[in-house]
């Protein structure tokens, strides 16, 4: 049975809640910003191999004691191989930094590790990645605006893009408030959130358009409420099954994809919420009506003339 929940009747409370989240996110981004990873800031990457498994917690503790508190340590390939990532250190060249971090890791293992790889990401490359990542977000938003305006109507396009901006800002704000590391994997997760949220919003919009054409009676708010209730089970089933996978990845997938999973977790929750309480109320506030979605009837040429015997 289709539920009858008055979603749009609670849109004022949803607007207040979204407003508080956005204010918090923007304030945090403006004051402390994002904790950028070496993909964006530049830094050194060292891969080491040992003849026995490496305890990551012990390794992190010793590296912190030796002055490498910002070092990211993770298994790479197997439990006997580790990947160390560090941001630039004042007074140390990249070569010196790689030697010192390797020596610190060797002291933990009481053995000399096999240095498999040493790489350096310069700050210029990091600046280019930052610029390209921002442009990717802007281009995706612009493309979505054009597509939804063509597929539905410009009021729906504005509503969907505003909902996507809402989702992206809150997800970025979450990383800023908690100072979680923001790297290329998290940027990829943000782009995936845009796709997921848009898909959810398009499903809702499609049902709204159908019901505007099918239902002859009822206000725009009532028809939109009916549409939201009809798509609710699909929305929840999709979100819950996705969240189950993401929770497993966040807790069992290892450090290398932990922040990626967290970004998707936050994005899916916020994206599901915005499809119901942000995208649809915005379209209603813009004054959508049945006339906006009615198909125009095209008269056939010569229809007004009687056929000759």
Helix (H/G/I), strand (E/B), else coil: 76: strand
Q: Which residue has the higher pLDDT, 162 or 120?
A: 162
What pLDDT was estimated at residue 71? 78
- 44 with 118: CB under 8 angstroms? yes
In sign, the C-alpha dihedral spanning 121, 123, 124, 129 is positive
Q: Which band of pLDDT confidence, cut at 50, 70 and 90, is reported for residue 308?
A: very low
Has residue 148 got a pLDDT over 90? no
Name 147's Cβ contacts closer than 8 Å, sequence gap at least 6: none
Here the tokens at position 289 are: 């009506």
Q: In whole angstroms, what separates CA 72 from the centre of its chain? A: 22
Has residue 131 got a pLDDT over 80? no
Give per-residue burial for 158-169: e unless 16+ CB within 10 Å, then b.
Answer: bbbbbbbbbbbb
Has residue 305 got a pLDDT over 70? no
- What is the arithmetic mean of pLDDT over 237-265? 87
What pLDDT was estimated at residue 62? 81
Q: Which band of pLDDT confidence, cut at 50, 70 and 90, is reported for residue 74?
A: confident
Q: Which band of pLDDT confidence, cut at 50, 70 and 90, is reported for residue 27?
A: very high
Domains of the chain: 8-35+125-293 (1.20.1640.10), 43-121 (3.30.70.3400)
Share of the chain above pLDDT 70, in %: 86
Indicate the Cα dihedral angle 169, 170, 175, 176, nearest 10°: 70
Tally the C-alpha atoms within 13 A of residue 116's C-alpha that lie toward its C-beta: 12
Q: Which band of pLDDT confidence, cut at 50, 70 and 90, is reported for residue 153?
A: confident
């Amino acid at each position: 049975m289709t539920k009858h929940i008055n979603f749009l009747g609670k849109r004022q409370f949803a607007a207040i809640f979204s407003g508080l989240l956005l204010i918090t996110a923007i304030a945090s981004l403006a004051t402390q910003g994002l904790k950028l990873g070496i993909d964006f800031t530049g830094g050194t990457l060292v891969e080491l191999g040992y003849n026995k498994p490496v305890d990551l917690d012990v390794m992190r503790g010793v590296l912190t004691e030796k002055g490498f508190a910002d070092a990211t340590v993770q298994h790479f390939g197997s439990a006997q191989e580790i990947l160390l990532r560090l941001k630039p250190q004042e007074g140390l060249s990249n070569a010196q930094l790689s030697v010192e971090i390797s020596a610190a890791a060797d002291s933990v293992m009481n053995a000399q590790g096999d240095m498999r790889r040493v790489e350096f990401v310069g700050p210029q490359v990091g600046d280019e990645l930052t610029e390209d990542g921002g442009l990717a977000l802007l281009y995706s938003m612009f493309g979505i605006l054009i597509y939804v305006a063509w597929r539905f109507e410009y009021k729906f396009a504005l509503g969907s893009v505003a909902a996507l901006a809402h989702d992206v800002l809150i997800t970025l704000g979450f990383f800023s408030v908690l100072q979680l590391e923001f790297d290329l994997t998290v940027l990829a997760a943000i782009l995936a959130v845009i796709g997921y949220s848009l898909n959810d919003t398009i499903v809702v919009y499609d049902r709204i358009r159908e019901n505007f054409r099918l239902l002859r009676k009822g206000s725009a708010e009532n028809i939109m409420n009916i549409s939201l209730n009809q798509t609710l089970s699909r929305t929840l089933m999709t979100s819950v099954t996705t969240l189950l996978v993401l929770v497993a990845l966040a807790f069992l997938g290892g450090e290398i994809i932990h922040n990626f999973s967290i970004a998707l977790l936050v994005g899916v929750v916020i994206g599901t919420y915005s499809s119901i309480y942000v995208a649809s109320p915005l379209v209603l506030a813009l004054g959508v009506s049945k006339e906006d979605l009615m198909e125009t009837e095209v008269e056939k040429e010569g229809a007004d003339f009687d056929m000759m015997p």
